[in-house]
Amino acid sequence: MAGKYVSEVKRSHYCGKLNKQNVGETVTLMGWVDTRRDHGGLVFVDLRDREGFVQLVMDPNLTGNSAAKDVRNEYVIAVTGTVRARPDGMINKKISTGEVEVVVERCELLSRSESLPFQASDPNVSESVRLKYRYLDLRSERMQSNLKLRHKFCQTVRNVLS
């Protein structure tokens, strides 16, 4: 599954940290496929990691992008590509990376995923299901922000008391 590519390359940026200042840079990202949209010749993927989301643009016909045909929700992938500004009218002001997208030159599937009982982005999941699949619930944006807040609070308490 994981080939030579993974051992040679390390993540250069987190998905949620890319912005207009990175336009033109070659970046390496790793994360979970949040959504996949197939628009004829191009595949658009929202890649998620601990810092947020970024949109990937893949051409499955390119040699290094053969995995683009196979990716599904929650698959783990590693990509290398160039950051570019999104075209006018395609900018998404709702997310921090909404002004940029990554044109993928190389994509590798690191891990497949079975169908999940719920999507991390679904806010209408019952508490009993969330507790049963706690390890999946921790992927949700709400739980991630709660964990980060708890970490900052504990860190502040430690700094004050030391």
Q: Where are the domains of the chain?
A: 4-111, 127-161
Q: Residue 124 is which amino acid?
A: N
Q: Please state the pTM of the whole predicted model.
A: 0.77
Predicted local confidence at residue 3, as pLDDT: 52
Predicted local confidence at residue 10, as pLDDT: 86
Contact indicator for 14, 49 with CB cutoff of 8 Å: yes
CATH code: domain 4-111 is 2.40.50.140
Measured between alpha carbons, how far is 60 from 42 in angstroms, rounded to an integer? 7
Predicted local confidence at residue 1, as pLDDT: 45
Predicted local confidence at residue 149, as pLDDT: 96
Which secondary-structure segment (H or E) carries 156? helix 141-161
Predicted local confidence at residue 153, as pLDDT: 97
Measured between alpha carbons, how far is 18 from 153 in angstroms, rounded to an integer? 26
Predicted local confidence at residue 39, as pLDDT: 79
Q: What is the mean pLDDT of each run of 10 residues along the chain (162 residues)?
A: 59 92 94 87 89 89 70 90 90 86 91 81 84 85 90 96 90
* CB environment 29-53: b (16+ within 10 A), e (fewer): bbbbbbebeeeeeebebbbbbebbb
